[in-house]
Amino acid sequence: MDPAFNTIQTNPWNEIFKVVFFPDRIYHAQYLNATRSDRYRYNVQEVRSYFDINVIKGEVYLDGQFLSNFLRIEYRASRLVEQAREKRRFLKDQLIAWVKIMPDDMTKMAESRVKLHYCPWVDAFQVEIWETLEPPGNSFHDFQVLDQMGRDCPITRVRAFNPALQEIKSLRQLELAFRENDRDLPTGYAINDNDTVWDNGYLRSHQEPRTSSPSSPNNTILDQNYLINFQRGWYLQTPDIQPVRYRNAMMDSDNQELEDDNIIEMRWVVQRELGGSMIFFHEVTIPPGKVEGNHQHIGTEELYYITEGEGIAYLRVGDDPATDSFPTVERQVMGLGFRDFKELPVKPGSVIYTKSGGMHGIRNNGTIPLKFVAFLYHTV
């Protein structure tokens, strides 16, 4: 982190914008493994997060000499705890990560499983993958760090990762998934692959316009992992992004509003590249007279911001008390039967925000396409 950041952060003129300059605790070196000894220093180059995951890449120095490039993975395991509990097991002190590293030079792409160890300093499972564990020249490791090194230890080496780690700045992306340990501790009995549980990004998928056929399964790409992206910025032109088309989106087969030409389009602008708890940002186009069916959100929040056209949005009665004065209509909810909704007129500048447990839908009752951008988030 640039030392000038401290001045920016503490300048009283920037108080209102501190949410922009929010300092992350991972920049504090005392939380990293080798700093148990004052002989080691880290140079953190990049940090990325997604929900329960932090990934850090950079350099390690020993007695002022460059020692190794490193990759650190931290995981707080809230999803995996739920999965293991269904098996009546606890995660205990260790678990396993599947890691796929993807540098600019894809010939150096590699994948491996590594052990993660619980660390009370960060309240997370963590591992540091170093390019080498050998000290430089005639130097030697401090015993406080040496006892952390080796296979399945908090500081480890994965031979297959070395070609990519040697050029740490060109390491652009990682894919990650997490599973419980291969042995139940402290009993020691083996947990085989057929019985284990995984946190693979909530069965994560993303959308690609591989065909113009509405609601084609070919447009859904099953990832089943988390993507960590070290790219720092994107410049995108939404009209250049081909839309994915959906017929009768969010509707059951017995919905009376089903029509063969009830087709909406979604331009998936940013998906897996996002960090934090955000899942996607996309632009939706609903032609005149068409509708996106009413549905309930569970474990997610969604925000619609209308940019073009006019229409009717539907919020379930009681979800927003401020809408009590608007007309009430009965609407079919995907998978849940009929519920009472408020009819809300929307136009450019209108916002529909739905929390987990809330229900919504939207219709274009105008003469031009209704367009809005949508943001979807995971919730805890």
pLDDT along the chain (380 residues), means of 10: 64 63 58 92 90 93 95 95 89 95 96 96 95 91 95 96 95 96 82 90 91 97 95 95 97 96 97 90 97 95 97 97 97 96 98 96 97 90
Q: What burial class does residue 271 get, using C-beta atoms within 10 Å of its C-beta: 0-12 exposed, 13-18 middle, 19+ buried?
A: buried
Write the CA distances from 35 to 62, 63, 202, 244, integer angstroms: 10, 12, 34, 49
Pairing of strands 124-130, 155-156: parallel
Q: In sequence order, what are the residues at sequence separation of 6 or more whose Cβ sits closer than 8 angstroms to the Cβ of residue 52?
A: 75, 76, 77, 78, 79, 124
How many of the other CB atoms lie within 10 Å of CB of 318?
A: 12
Please name the amino acid found at residue 2.
D
pTM: 0.90
E-only strand ranges, 145-241: 155-156, 171-180, 198-199, 205-207, 220-222, 226-229
Report pLDDT for 338: 97
Compute the CA torsion angle 288, 294, 300, 304 (nearest 10 deg): 30
Report pLDDT for 75: 97
Looking at domain 205-378, its CATH superfamily turns out to be: Jelly Rolls (2.60.120.10)
Q: What are the boundaries of each domain within the chain?
A: 4-76+104-171, 205-378
Q: In sequence order, what are the residues at sequence separation of 6 or more whose Cβ sits closer than 8 angstroms to the Cβ of residue 224?
A: 177, 200, 201, 203, 204, 205
Nearest to 320 by CA among 296, 280, 352, 346: 352
Report pLDDT for 13: 62
Give bridge partners of residue 211 from the DSSP assignment. Answer: none
Where on the phi/psi map is residue 38: left (φ > 0), alpha (ψ -120 to 50), or beta? alpha
Report pLDDT for 31: 83
Report how far residue 292's alpha carbon sits from residue 286's, in angstroms, rounded to the nearest whole number: 8
Report pLDDT for 152: 93
CB of 184 within 8 A of CB of 89? yes
CB of 368 within 8 A of CB of 362? no
CB of 225 within 8 A of CB of 201? yes
Compute the CA torsion angle 117, 181, 51, 281 (nearest 10 deg): 140
Report pLDDT for 203: 79
Residue position matching structure tokens 């909406």:
264
Nearest to 96 by CA among 132, 53, 126, 57: 126
Report pLDDT for 5: 58
Report pLDDT for 188: 78
Q: Please list the alpha-helical segments (H only) found in the chain.
A: 4-10, 78-86, 143-146, 162-165
Report how far residue 27's alpha carbon sits from residue 6's, in angstroms, rounded to the nearest whole number: 12
